[in-house]
Structure 1
């Protein structure tokens, strides 16, 4: 990257006598790329647990994988998929916290949906091929834009301009008819300072689970202009995803019959034959535009201004069996001499949203002092509505009948101030404070015809501070403390408004204590990070899902997560590299009360109210006590770019509700992936990369996620419904890439 801007400076300024000044100017512009994401990232000496991921590492073992699967080797990360492969719906947890509690920014601007507070990676397929770097911060991290970080934050930066024209074409093919086609090209930085870069990707797969099909397209384009002290970049991204519905999971008993079974869209026709609805799909169209402006105002002061617009439109469509007309506000249907109170029907639930973001940050550096001041405002306008496309027993219901509609407006304003001071060369002090205000208003009817109209206002102050001390050349000690506050999700709020809710939903607070040690030289790097995350009114998953796959949550007054994260990298020689990490943790809720819906019997299901059960101490759902990763990479020839890697992942046992019930526990699993790569340098015509992957080499049979719903009856019996998400066995993938 440094060479890019040295070349640019020479082109712009010209003259052999000015080379020294040109080099100095080029170094300034190099830093402007860093300013784009500086507000959401931490420096090398910050007292925060973090991992940096480079462009080379992103592409290293990536073939038709979404971001969560790429990050799974990092400390405390657990990734999982709905459809069994990394090409479809994927998500991740960090330190046991789910994706709705992980802040994600792209070029410093929020990417989380303001209502679900989650990033659906499937909506931006093959985004990884457009990235030049990522930083994952664990714990509350540094102040960032968008939803609060409650377990981690992920800062992503897209590719910048290159010094020369280039092209990059790749194709990959693997089992389950998985196909990836990707092409990228760029003009390089021209004499006038302009650079244009574009990439297009297409991903298609049948998926492991029945109906786990994938049909994705992604377009990325960036127009940049570089000058001595300024960078302007306009970015456009378009994602189109069509994915089969796989969120229902599989009954545990069915795993022994058919691991690839999926009940979504299943019905019985009039002749008693089992059929499947063809268009049981989830669909989303995403359009993102970003304008980035970075400039050196003086030798010590830099400015970064960001504008972002995200337009999304999506729907899912499925077949429902025997649904009562009263659920949709409809009268009984009389056809001839028959009266029908229920019917099979086809539904489409839709959503549309517009998300506007504007923000800036000023970075001032003078000697041993660095100050950052920043602010962001966002405005979200979204609508949810449902239509009935087809009714089996239909007298007078019009096609496309709309039975519900609700909308929401969410405004988010934050401002932060950061300071880093080095009173001694080996001592760094860090402090920051963020203020955040949220105005979230909902109105209209939900799909069960319940009124959602309500107004919610939140004011949060989030302070952080810490220090790091370096000694004896390669050693560093650090410690930090931070407070983070977070508002509930849309799903949490709307479920709490409805009848029978056991308690109201409120905001939550986290007190995060971190203490760490690092050692690094040219051969070995080791780190140990101890954390204690104490929560007030933490929102934890109940184990239940609503009808479109949202994970329902509830506040628990007193809970904590504590553990140690160990990481080691060892490169004793050019042909061998070892990398590993291990997280050991304890995740508990104190004085927890769980509520169950109670009914009269399993025949009539007349609702009687709720019954409760109290636990003095219990494990937090989806929080394994042990998570680890270990990889071995061999490079047998010093002068040949060829490598063989074994990437191992271990995830310990974890409960999928908060009762510590062994019947509601996923077994631990240890999975090994294999990757081989060879690069042929064809000199003047470019380079060819050949890669071969075996995912789940030992074909381990495991499930990485689950849900459970328990109901009680007056006679003391209960009904338990579960869904597990089995992952694919051993599967192969080959990839060829050409670049110049």
Structure 2
């Protein structure tokens, strides 16, 4: 299949050269493209803290990495990966806020999974190569579609149709047998206004830690039709990911002995030897279809209407040793006259979901006023179920036995209106209000045979106001205040239903205050943004994992995040550029009570009814929220007439706790890492261009852990057993890339 697709694309490279450019005005085309994402993006005059990345930015320091790793040098962003490299399972936080509270849209359409409210980038491998631009907003921002924005929002836009035919093919190879192949081609905009764009990517790697393997494929195709006043685009994206299970983490003692160890799939065979189950894997098949429509109804009125359908099917398979049969609703198994209460088994947990969404926005714009009215409706249908594939002690367990199944559906609808008013040239006012309603229902049994049937309804009003003032030519002041509300996740709700929580799970609310200053001229650009984020019933991570690696959360009544974000870009001469940012923050919970479930020391089961020990903290640090995050990049371009550059990319992450007790034993050390990128572009005159890039990641081979979890077992006598998992990152590793384009 791979060879066939590459043959088709490479053939298309040469065939597309015969097509001519459409006569529509290029500026109008750009504006039509921008309308597609305008409802989810901040304008240059909006009082919002944001960063923009262009298509060139996304490609210049990237080879095979997932989106979180590409964003890691932006203000207040902390990226991490389970497998130790920038591919496979990766995620990130903004201002200490985890990924399930970051709103993400693709072409203005919601991309977050409605149940987990997170985007799993591993399911859309090499997505960055299909993107034209990304805008990252920090704080409440201007989000109008999809899940709530509590730490930030990310608006992604897929590639534009280019005026002329083009082709782009690249290959990269690096350590851990990492191979990346990508091929793209397009017809350009034809005389009849049609254009076709396609791209295929393949990524394979052994990974840094054992079983950190990846086998990823991604297909992007778009059919577009342009007129001077209208754009219609049909997009299809397919992602196939096969990844080794890496979410279990590594015990700290083992990290000091073997940083590449991974317990996933490990068991003791009948001869007493350590063995590994080879198919300890996570698998997902993603299909996304979008129909985008943009039309200039008049010189001042624009309509944007979109439909999308996301289908996902996936499963993970693993070997479980010494499992209690009653956990699976099974009787003791009698084999050769012996009765067994426990058995080794291989199980597969599966999910299938459908997400249907439609939105529209109508924008009116004159010199002094821009007014947008819009709305969205989405329907999610999800199924979770599990099969037992094999059991070591098996009297009457049928192959493929389904031991649980639960279903859910979620309706999410909102309407919004936002306005920008400029009474004078240098002064802008911004206001936005969204009303969002959620109907979320679950039924059926969870994997522990507990009934999940429940109904949840939420209605939120989310307003934002702000103003910006430009003065003395290159200076700007801005301020904003926003409120955002967010419903609990599926995992939070189901854990609450089962009892043992410190309190019932409820929705959370954020009051976000932002104040900033910007200065920019042709040589230097400087920004300072102060934020104060006050929460009511914020979800914070307990540090404990469920069996799929999700960090369980709980509400805390009173907490806040406050800090200052500094950014600087300085280009004193053509051969030197400096880009940097620094975030200094405090992230605190007030009057926090930590709860510890008490377990029976013989069975290690929770004592029922659930007993809990407590510990009170007047003020404590929020987990996974470093007080200092910084990045700076030095770029050297030594030859004025040669397209060659060298970049040193540096990132510093301060110490952070991985529970909420401010216990130094439960803290990740700070780390400072540097990457090196060398780039050279060779012009081939009429034959296109060749790009050569060489990467050294973690140049100094720093040994650091980017993420962690903790699970505490408390017993009636007050003693505790504490289990921790760390995620070691790869040392110095190399990668080279060659790219040809015309």
Alignment TM-score, normalising by the size of structure 1: 0.96
Matched-pair contact (CA < 8 Å) for 2:22–2:189 = no
1:487-566 pair list within 5 angstroms: 487-566=487-566
Further displaced range: 694-703 or 142-151: 142-151
Q: Which residue of 2 aligns with 1:632?
A: 634
Task: Please state how far the C-alpha of 1:337 moved relative to its aligned partner.
Answer: 1.2
Query: Does residue 229 in structure 1 map to residue 264 in structure 2?
Result: no
Partner of 2:687: 685
Q: Are the aligned partners of 1:680 and 1:688 in contact in 2 as well (CA < 8 Å)? A: yes
Q: Which residue of 1 aligns with 2:704?
A: 702
CA distance in 2, matches of 1:247, 1:552: 14
Equivalence for 2:448: 448
| C-alpha separation in 1, matches of 2:69 and 2:396 | 48
The match for 2:28 is: 28
* Partner-residue secondary structure (3-state), 2:30: helix
Report how many aligned residue pairs link the two structures.
721
Counterpart of 2:722 in structure 1 is: 720
Aligned to 1:617: 619
Please say if residues 148 and 486 of structure 2, whose CA atoms lie closer than 8 Å, have aligned partners that are also in contact.
yes
CA–CA distance in 2 between the matches of 1:11 and 1:394? 68
Contact 1:602–1:713 under 8 Å retained in 2? no
Question: How far off is 1:28 after superposition?
Answer: 3.2
Contact 1:618 1:659 in 2 (8 A): yes
Q: Deviations over 1:323-372 (max 9, x none)?
A: 01100001111112111111000000000000000000011001210000
Per the TM alignment, residue 606 of structure 1 is displaced from its structure 2 partner at its CA by: 6.2
Unaligned runs of 5+ in 2: 1-19
Gaps of 5+ in 1: 1-9, 14-21
Find the residue that maps to 1:607 and give its secondary structure.
coil
- Greater shift in the superposed pair: 704-713 or 559-568: 704-713
Deviation sequence 1:225-248 (CA, Å, 0-9, x none): 000100000000000000000000
Deviation (angstroms), 1:485: 0.2
Deviations 1:541-578, CA, capped at 9 Å, x for gaps: 00001011111000000000000000000001110000
Q: Conserved in 2, the CA contact under 8 Å of 1:267 and 1:276?
A: yes
Per-residue deviation at 1:117?
0.2
- Partner deviation per Cα, 1:267-303 (whole Å, 9 max, x = no partner): 0100011100010000000000000000000010000
Whole-Å separation in 1 of the counterparts to 2:432 and 2:652? 36
**CA positional deviation for 1:598:** 1.2
Q: 1 CA distance for matches of 2:307 and 2:340?
A: 54
| Alignment correspondent of 1:375 | 375
Report what 1:571 is aligned to.
571
Q: Once the 2 structures are TM-superposed, how far is the Cα of residue 160 of structure 1 from its aligned partner?
A: 1.1
Structure 2 residue 253 is matched with structure 1 residue 256: no
Q: Which range moves more in the overlay, 259-268 or 495-504? A: 495-504
SS of match in other structure, 2:345: strand
Q: Does the 8 A contact of 2:474 with 2:519 survive in 1?
A: yes
Quick one: distance in 2 between partners of 1:301 and 1:73? Answer: 38
- Give the SS at the match of 2:40: coil
Aligned to 2:109: 109
RMSD of aligned residue pairs (Cα, Å): 1.1
Alignment of 1:54 with 2:54, yes or no, is yes
Deviations 1:124-168 (A, max 9, x none): 000000000000000000032110000000000000111111110
How is 1:227-306 mapped onto 2 (pairs within 5 angstroms)?
227-306=227-306
What is the DSSP-based 3-state SS (H/G/I as helix, E as strand, rest coil) of the residue aligned with 2:700? coil
* Per-residue deviation, residues 373-420 of structure 1 (Å, max 9, x unmatched): 110000000000000000000011000000000000000001100000
The separation in 1 between residues aligned to 2:499 and 2:432, in whole angstroms, is 42
Partner of 2:58, secondary structure, is helix
8 Å contact from structure 1 (residues 540, 555) kept in 2: yes
CA contact (8 A) 1:143 1:416 kept: no
Q: Give the whole-Å Cα distance in 2 for the aligned partners of 1:686 and 1:604.
A: 66
Instruction: Report the secondary structure of 1:491's partner residue.
Output: helix
> Contact 1:601–1:715 (CA<8 Å) still a contact in 2?
no
1:651 aligned to 2:661? Answer: no
Q: Distance in 2 between matches of 1:698 and 1:621?
A: 28
Measure the CA separation in 2 of the matches of 1:514 and 1:393: 61
Once the two structures are TM-superposed, the CA of residue 501 in structure 1 deviates from its matched residue by: 2.4
Report if the CA contact (8 A) 1:484-1:511 is conserved.
yes
The equivalent residue for 1:399 is: 399
3-state secondary structure, aligned to 2:659 = coil
Are 1:642 and 2:644 counterparts?
yes
Deviation of residue 528 (structure 1)? 0.1
Deviation at 1:605, TM superposition (A): 5.4
2:411 matched to which residue of 1? 411
Per-residue deviation, 1:602:
6.1
Is the Cα contact below 8 Å between 1:506 and 1:537 reproduced in 2? yes
Give the counterpart of 1:669 among 671, 676, 686. Answer: 671
- Superposed CA deviations along residues 240-273 of structure 1, whole A, max 9, x for unmatched, are 0000000000000001110000000000100011
Match of 2:236, SS state, is strand
Distance 1:572 1:500, change over 3 A: same
CA contact (8 A) 2:21 2:188 kept: no
Deviations 1:558-613 (A, max 9, x none): 00000000000000111000000000000000000111011343676562611111
Q: Distance in 2 between matches of 1:739 and 1:309?
A: 32
Aligned residues of 1:301 and 1:362 also touching (Cα < 8 A): yes
List aligned pairs for 1:294-333, cutoff 5 A. 294-333=294-333
- Structure 2 distance, partners of 1:11, 1:256, is 60
Q: Distance in 2 between matches of 1:174 and 1:412?
A: 43
User: 1:500 Cα shift?
Assistant: 2.1
**Structure 1 CA distance for aligned equivalents of residues 60 and 190 of structure 2:** 29
Residues 444/190 of structure 1: CA separation in 2 closer, same or farther (3 Å cut): same
